[in-house]
Amino acid sequence: MKCQYCEKPATFHITEVLGADGPQVMHLCEEHARTFLSKESPTPAATIAGALAKQLKLGGKPSAETEQKECPVCGISFFEFRNTGRLGCPYDYTHFESELEPLLVNIHDAPRHTGKRPQRAPVSADSQATLIQLRREMEEAVEREDYEQASEIRDRIRDLEASGNRGSDD
Amino acid sequence: MNGVRPTQSGRRKSNVRRDQTFDELAGKCGEWLRGTGPESDIVISSRIRLARNLADFPFIRRCGDEDRLSIERTVRARMDKITELTDVRYFDVDELSEVDRQFFVERQLISRELADNDGARGVAIDPGEQFSVMVNEEDHLRIQVMHSGLSLETAWDQINRLDDLLESTITYAFHPKYGYLTACPTNVGTGLRVSVMMHLPALVITRQIDKVFRSLQKISVTVRGLYGEGSQYTGDFYQVSNQITLGKTENELMQQVAEVVPLLIDYERRARQFLIEQSEKDLHDDVSRALGILCTAKKISSEETMHYLSKVRLGVNLGLIDDVAVKVINKLFIHTQPAHLQKLRGKLLGSSDRNIERASYLQQHLSGQGKRESGLN
Ligand SMILES: [Zn+2]
Ligand SMILES: [Zn+2]
């Protein structure tokens, strides 16, 4: 028998016992079995694809417009998130909120956090988003080999970090 | 002070490093395989992890090299300031050799994903190996606590305190409605994953395992098992974990898992009782042959070793094999894994040489004096 994901022989037969569709046997080569087992939940992309499919059945196919929607802070598009199952930055939960909320309901049953909260006062979400955006611009400047611009941005990041940290530590 | 620092010679990645810490670790068996703690004949370990991210960085997928480096530096600097964590040792995973990374994966101190990722990343490990903090895995921080046997509450108290300590110097990405924000929406909210690893050989032998798991399906837990090579080799280890992370408190999520575990323990105990009553001779024969193979094989793969060790473990726990200590079996589970074997033998070995070394290692520790002593080496 061949591995489900490649041409190598399947030497691992893993039973996913409590999946959404009941017990399911996966036939995998050693390498893919490792990857599979190292993930603690059924692959996130699969979970998200499943939740999205459920959502589509309920009649909410993401429009081309939604697919192209981009986070202004990290630049990730909704399409890219849907493909990889991974978000780009904390601000995505705000920017894509209307798309994510039904997804979260499908995955978790309830969309509101009721557990532990950080004890210290939250730093302004705006300045955090600005920092993430600046870091992205700096990486882009480095990629363009525009080191002058990069070092200018680095200074701005340092200033912002310093003002954010004032009083909380050091 | 303006002396020139001597340049460090380039690190070699191809050798098995005889690092004292690694040798020390390799000789020990790791907290979770101590084989002690409540219900330890069936429950191997209790593990809790929390996913956390720094508020002012993109999630890992959108991080460039510079970002990853800054995250690592920030986290290390902040952790250095926490006096309770002075004993913790930090390993730069990017600098580790392949076999060293594998070694940490086998001990469950890091994930396969962290081992295989690129760029700046690392892990902080406490000397007792009860907790570790992975940096730059799927999330910026993955905090993990692992205990031998069934002890979720103790593990929770420890990880909760550790999380508080880290949070006192690191600003986490947190949303009033969605909780701790994670790269993958399947972890958002509490960021909590509770996992209990169980050894259920009797349920496997009596072919009840699938039925038992199906009966648990309504409850929101995931059970995952590992089998090797069709019906030829079976592992008999299963992991029970919570499925969701948002909408319930950490305590409620822990309870979901905690309620299932005693049921499984009870089923497994009944299956063991059934086997003893109905077919003691067959079972005795089976576990004795397993021990025989482990003691006499001249080459043996790690899956086959796992399969027979599982049977021997059952035999020891049922008193059918009385001259091997269960501690020795527990250690052999980890010491016969590829990276551990190479560490203990002090050299890199290809797969077929490993099979030969593994057989000789097993023989050495399962016959004569070795089988009663827990201090392997
Ligand atoms: Zn494969
Ligand atoms: Zn974003």
CA dihedral B65, B70, B72, B76 (to 10 degrees): 160
Residue A24: band (very low, low, confident or very high) from pLDDT cuts 50, 70, 90: low
pLDDT above 70 for B77: yes
Rounded percentage of chain A residues whose pLDDT exceeds 90: 25
Secondary structure class of B135 (helix, strand, coil): strand
pLDDT above 90 for B106: no
Rounded percentage of chain B residues whose pLDDT exceeds 90: 60
Please give the C-alpha separations between residue B50 and each of B47, B132, B347, in angstroms, as whole numbers: 10, 11, 36
**pLDDT of the residue at B350:** 92
Mean pLDDT in residue range B53-82: 93
Q: How many Å lie between the alpha carbon of A77 and the closest alpha carbon of chain B?
A: 12
**pLDDT of the residue at A15:** 63
Residue A100 identity? L
**pLDDT of the residue at B22:** 66
- Cα B206 to Cα B225: distance, rounded to the nearest angstrom: 16
**pLDDT of the residue at B120:** 95
Q: How many Å lie between the alpha carbon of A114 and the closest alpha carbon of chain B?
A: 5
| DSSP 8-state assignment for residue B8 | P
Cβ atoms of B293 and B233 within 8 Å: the answer is: no
Per-residue pLDDT tens digits for A43-94: 566 666 667 666 656 555 667 788 889 999 999 999 899 888 899 999 999 9
Residue B18: band (very low, low, confident or very high) from pLDDT cuts 50, 70, 90: very low
What number is the ipTM of this complex? 0.84
Lowest mean per-residue pLDDT among B32-46, B202-216, B221-235, B244-258: B221-235
pLDDT above 70 for B230: no
Per-residue pLDDT tens digits for B125-176: 998 889 999 999 999 999 999 998 899 999 999 999 999 999 999 999 999 9
Rounded percentage of chain B residues whose pLDDT exceeds 70: 84
Chain A residues in contact with B176 by the CB 8 A cut-off are: 113
**pLDDT of the residue at B8:** 37
User: Which of A11, A86, A138 is facing B183, going by the closest CB pair?
Assistant: A86
Inter-chain contact B222–A90, Cβ cutoff 8 Å? no
Ligand 2 midpoint to CA B24 (Å)? 43
Residue B20: band (very low, low, confident or very high) from pLDDT cuts 50, 70, 90: low
Mean pLDDT in residue range B329-356: 91
Per-residue pLDDT tens digits for A108-148: 878 899 999 998 766 677 888 888 999 989 888 988 999 99
**pLDDT of the residue at A32:** 73
pLDDT above 50 for A38: yes
Per-residue pLDDT tens digits for A89-115: 999 999 999 999 988 988 887 889 999
User: Nearest to residue B340, comparing CAs of B89, B42, B108, B94?
Assistant: B108
Mean pLDDT in residue range B250-261: 93
Chain A CA closest to residue B222: A18
**pLDDT of the residue at A36:** 66
pLDDT above 50 for A159: yes
Chain A residues in contact with B66 by the CB 8 A cut-off are: 135, 138-139, 142
Phi, psi of B17, deg, nearest 5: -75, 130
pLDDT above 90 for B327: no
Ligand 2 midpoint to CA A133 (Å)? 9
Mean pLDDT in residue range B192-196: 94
B111 vs B16, more confident = B111
Secondary structure class of B342 (helix, strand, coil): helix
Lowest mean per-residue pLDDT among A35-44, B86-95, B108-117: A35-44
Residue labelled with tokens 């947190």: B174
Ligand showing the shortest atom-to-Cα distance for residue A11:
1
Q: How many Å lie between the alpha carbon of B244 and the closest alpha carbon of chain A?
A: 5
Residue B217: band (very low, low, confident or very high) from pLDDT cuts 50, 70, 90: low
**pLDDT of the residue at B102:** 92
Residue B18: exposure state from Cβ atoms within 10 A (0-12, 13-18, ≥19) = exposed
Cβ atoms of B157 and B212 within 8 Å: the answer is: no
